[in-house]
Amino acid sequence: MKWTPISEKLPSERGEYLITWGDIGDGVVDLAYYGKPQNPTREVDGLCFFDYNDEYGDVPYDTVKAWMPLPRPYTADRKTENSSEKPNNCKDEPQTERRE
């Protein structure tokens, strides 16, 4: 998958997408919905990228530079999937000797 500049093309379907937005530096990567906001913070014509926001309503992004579809979910190989030992995503903090 690669980024698609909005100047070249917009998504053909409504849904969730990764976007690059912002007008400072290279911008920010964020998750956005492409479609018609249900509770927009201001009038929006047509479809747009927006952020779901319970407190402020659906906030349209003004400075979207590019978008890409979400990647497919991770799938473990069968060997790991059937293992009785599950992988741990945390490490124990090393014990330090306590001095009194």
| Residues 87, 84: Cα–Cα separation, whole Å | 10
The pair phi, psi for residue 81, each rounded to 5°, is -65, -35
- Amino acid at the residue 67: W
Domain positions in the chain are 4-70
pLDDT, position 25? 75
pLDDT, position 81? 53
pLDDT, position 57? 60
pLDDT, position 84? 55
pLDDT, position 22? 82
Which stretches of the chain drop beneath a pLDDT of 50? none
Inter-residue contact 87 to 80 (CB < 8 Å): yes
Inter-residue contact 19 to 4 (CB < 8 Å): no
Secondary structure letter of residue 58 according to DSSP: B
Q: Which parts of 3-63 are beta strand (E)?
A: 4-5, 15-21, 28-35, 48-51, 59-60
pLDDT, position 15? 92
The three-state secondary structure class of 39 is coil
pTM above 0.75, yes or no: no
